[in-house]
């Protein structure tokens, strides 16, 4: 069966640095990969979507890449700020639905 | 501001009770979803609906049912609540399926079954 894995449960980073989060999938390449932000006790908030035929997508300080050879998506936050501290989820589109990874909890230290 | 509204933020129910979780969206989306989220397991799909009166099972439908009588409303029903259904329940909607668009989530209902 298809699996999606975020291999870091937690990541601490100094304010101003670039945070890089990893998402790996097995077997078939999804047509779309999505990234969400989730704050404690709240629902996930959609951030970015990248298509299979796109290598890179940007939105303000956020950048997502999609490497179908490595079966991997990377999520970057440049010039990180304490307000970026949250859990970030990746999700793959599969069989007409979205399947989520377990998330990486990012802490940006002032 | 478009939104998905879940009727309760916190619920405490007794084992064996029938529980209704309500979700309403104001975006005229075709697709609606129910997930549960547990530590270490992430979000798991319970049921989804791609049209009024239509429903499809997700990964973990056992012990749950759903109802979609109107386009904007999708209800999750726990027929006989059990302690292993203690969890955070999240409703979401999207214009279409297939991951073409991001999902809009509600704030979640934290259900405790005692």
Write out pLDDT tens, residues A2-13: 678 887 789 999
Query: Between B90, B97, B103, which is nearest A96 by CB?
Result: B97
Write out pLDDT tens, residues A12-49: 999 999 999 999 987 777 778 999 999 999 999 999 99
Q: Give the whole-angstrom CA distance, residue A28 versus residue A90.
A: 16
Average pLDDT taken over every residue of chain B: 94
Q: Which residues of A touch B (CB under 8 A)?
A: 30-32, 34, 36, 41-47, 49, 89, 91-94, 96-103
Model confidence band, residue A97 (pLDDT cutoffs 50, 70, 90): confident
Residues of A in Cβ contact (< 8 Å) with B101: 49
Do A46 and B40 lie within an 8 Å CB cutoff?
no
Q: Is B107 on the interface with A (CB under 8 A)?
A: yes
Classify B40 as helix, strand or coil: coil
Do B105 and A31 lie within an 8 Å CB cutoff?
no
Which pLDDT belongs to residue A1?
A: 58
Q: Tell me: pLDDT of A79 over 80.
A: yes
Which pLDDT belongs to residue B40?
A: 85
Model confidence band, residue A68 (pLDDT cutoffs 50, 70, 90): confident
Which chain B residue lies closest to A6 (C-alpha atoms)? B42
- The secondary element (H helix, E strand) that includes residue B48 is strand B42-49
Q: Tell me: pLDDT of A92 over 80.
A: yes
Nearest CA-CA distance, residue A96 and chain B, Å:
4
Which pLDDT belongs to residue A42?
A: 93
Q: Is B10 on the interface with A (CB under 8 A)?
A: no
Q: Is B1 on the interface with A (CB under 8 A)?
A: no
Return the closest-CA partner of residue B8 out of B69, B82, B76. B76
For each of chain B's 114 residues, which pLDDT tens digit applies?
669 999 899 999 999 999 999 999 999 999 999 999 998 888 999 999 999 999 999 999 999 999 999 999 999 999 999 999 999 999 999 998 777 889 999 999 999 999
For residues B25 and B107, is the Cβ–Cβ distance under 8 A?
A: no
Q: Tell me: pLDDT of A99 over 90.
A: no
Q: Is B47 on the interface with A (CB under 8 A)?
A: no
Average pLDDT taken over every residue of chain A: 91
Do B41 and A102 lie within an 8 Å CB cutoff?
yes
Do A102 and B92 lie within an 8 Å CB cutoff?
no
Q: Give the whole-angstrom CA distance, residue A93 versus residue B2.
A: 23
Q: Is B58 on the interface with A (CB under 8 A)?
A: yes
């Amino acid at each position: 069966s298809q699996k999606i894995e975020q291999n870091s449960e937690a990541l601490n980073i100094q304010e101003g640095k670039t945070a890089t989060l990893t998402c790996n999938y097995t077997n078939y390449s999804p047509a779309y990969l999505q990234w969400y932000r989730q704050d404690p006790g709240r629902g996930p908030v959609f951030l970015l979507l990248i298509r299979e035929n796109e290598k890179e997508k940007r939105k303000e300080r956020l950048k997502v890449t999609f490497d179908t050879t490595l079966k991997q998506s990377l999520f970057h936050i440049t010039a990180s700020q304490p307000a970026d501290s949250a859990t970030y989820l990746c999700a793959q589109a599969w069989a007409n639905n979205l399947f989520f990874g377990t998330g990486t909890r990012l802490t940006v230290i002032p | 501001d478009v939104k998905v509204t879940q009727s309760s933020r916190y619920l405490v129910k007794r084992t064996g009770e029938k529980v209704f979780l309500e979700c309403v969206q104001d975006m005229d989306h075709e697709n609606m979803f129910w997930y549960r989220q547990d530590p270490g397991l992430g979000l798991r799909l319970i049921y989804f609906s791609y049209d009024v009166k239509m429903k499809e099972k997700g990964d973990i439908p056992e012990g749950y049912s759903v109802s979609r009588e109107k386009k904007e409303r999708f209800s999750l029903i726990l027929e006989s609540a059990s302690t292993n259904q203690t969890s955070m329940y999240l409703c979401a909607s999207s214009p279409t399926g297939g991951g073409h668009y991001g999902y809009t989530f509600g704030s979640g209902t934290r259900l405790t079954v005692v």
